[in-house]
Amino acid sequence: MSKGIGLSVAAGIASGVVYLSVLAGGTLGILLTYFTPLPLVMVGLAFGLRRLLLASIIASAVVAVAGPQAIMMYAVVGPLPMLILVRLALRWRQTTDGTGEWYPTGALLAWLSVVAVGLMLLGSAVLPSGDGGVQGMVHRQVAAFLDEAAPMVSAEVKDSATALWSAMFPAMVGGAWLVMAVLNGVVGQWTVARAGFALRPTPVYTRLELPLWLLPVLAAAVAVGLTAGGDVGYLGRNAAAVLLWPYVFGGLAVVHRAIRGRPNAGMLLALFYVAFFAMFGWALIAVAGLGLVRHWTRLRRHDAGGGQEEK
């Protein structure tokens, strides 16, 4: 028990210090941005939700030296996603044959994507927008950033980049939040499992199955994005882009299953990811499409067989 408390305190201090280094703008802090929540999720997956709460409180106290606004931002990128992830990951139920069944990884991923959309909508509601609504505000912020970051670039290039980035900027932020949560969850589970402290078995990620309810939610977001005007349509399109991320992971699971067991599987996967990141935009769409096809065929089988929907 005391060991768990000590590690929780250490994890909270580590997470808070990493986040402060990000705020300071140091190179190391920028590199470690995505791993700010990692100490927290490791404590949660090894010792449970209470220890994660303790670590989160300690981390927030460390971040408090930078001011109240820093605590709010830290809560969104640090404790919040890890509390949701650990709470769901450690859920289990006893089946009729007496064995235990852990909360499905696909359902966890789907709920994280829904939370990412919720945070995106909440941020759009509370931030001052001014002329042009939310889209106008995002356009101005992106334009100001490009003016400061690339002053030597021509106005035509900056205008094109501003239009492209601002069109999907909320989805980029929401997607980054979701990927950060997933990455830290996978790395944290791997680490605590290797150390022998994992409270749940490591899922077989290649068997990822998304819940059936996610597709209607995605379809609703697409419909709003295509039919509504103004900020409603803008946010609908961005919400749909965020909700596509679980299908990206589903598509990657299909790729891993297809390559696994083949000769030189490791080299084939390495080549795949080189191509994936080299053509990231189009590759992301293609892999998400693969995940959607996989999900649709499963949905058809479910309808034909009258099975029960996953959580």
What is the DSSP secondary-structure string of 127-146? S---TTHHHHHHHHHHHHHH
Least confident among 21-25, 106-110, 208-212, 301-305: 301-305
| 56, 218, 233, 236, 249 from 223: Cα distances, Å | 38, 9, 9, 8, 23
pLDDT(304) > 80: no
Predicted pLDDT at 145: 79
pLDDT(111) > 60: yes
For residue 278, report the phi and psi dihedrals to the nearest 5 degrees: -70, -35
pLDDT(81) > 80: yes
Least confident among 105-109, 136-140, 231-235: 136-140
Confidence of residue 29 (pLDDT cuts 50, 70, 90): low
Predicted pLDDT at 155: 75
pLDDT(299) > 90: no
Which residue do the tokens 């994280």 mark? 112
Q: Do 124 and 231 contact (CB within 8 A), yes or no?
A: yes
Instruction: Kindly tell me the sign of the dihedral angle through the C-alpha atoms of 182, 184, 187, 191.
Output: negative
- Write the pLDDT tens digit of every residue in 233-292: 999 999 999 999 999 999 999 999 889 878 888 888 899 889 988 888 888 899 999 999
Predicted pLDDT at 3: 66
Q: How far apart are CA 93 and CA 102, in angstroms?
A: 7
pTM for this prediction: 0.89
Q: How far apart are CA 196 and CA 267, in angstroms?
A: 29
Name the percent of the chain lying above pLDDT 90: 48
Rounded to an integer, the average pLDDT of 45-72 is: 90
At residue 189's C-alpha, the angle toward residues 183 and 193, to 5°, is: 150
Q: How far apart are CA 23 and CA 241, in angstroms?
A: 28
Angle between helices 68-77 and 155-195 (to 10 degrees): 70
Q: How far apart are CA 212 and CA 107, in angstroms?
A: 9
Q: How far apart are CA 64 and CA 71, in angstroms?
A: 6
Amino acid making up residue 144: A
Which pair of tokens denotes residue 13? Answer: 């201090």
pLDDT(2) > 70: no
Q: How far apart are CA 292 and CA 78, in angstroms?
A: 30
Predicted pLDDT at 55: 94
Confidence of residue 70 (pLDDT cuts 50, 70, 90): confident
Question: Would you give the DSSP letter of residue 93?
Answer: E
Nearest C-alpha neighbor of 186 from the set 171, 204, 207: 204
Question: Would you give the DSSP letter of residue 78?
Answer: T
Rounded to an integer, the average pLDDT of 197-212 is: 91
Determine the length of the chain: 311
pLDDT(152) > 80: no
* Mean pLDDT, all residues of the chain: 86
Q: How far apart are CA 175 and CA 153, in angstroms?
A: 27
With residue 199 as reference, give the H or E element that holds it: none
pLDDT(310) > 60: no
Rounded to an integer, the average pLDDT of 212-232 is: 92
Confidence of residue 303 (pLDDT cuts 50, 70, 90): low
Predicted pLDDT at 154: 77
Q: How far apart are CA 108 and CA 82, in angstroms?
A: 12
For the chain, how far is it from start to end, CA to CA, in angstroms?
Answer: 33
Rounded to an integer, the average pLDDT of 143-170 is: 80
Nearest C-alpha neighbor of 287 from the set 259, 246, 242: 246
Predicted pLDDT at 225: 93
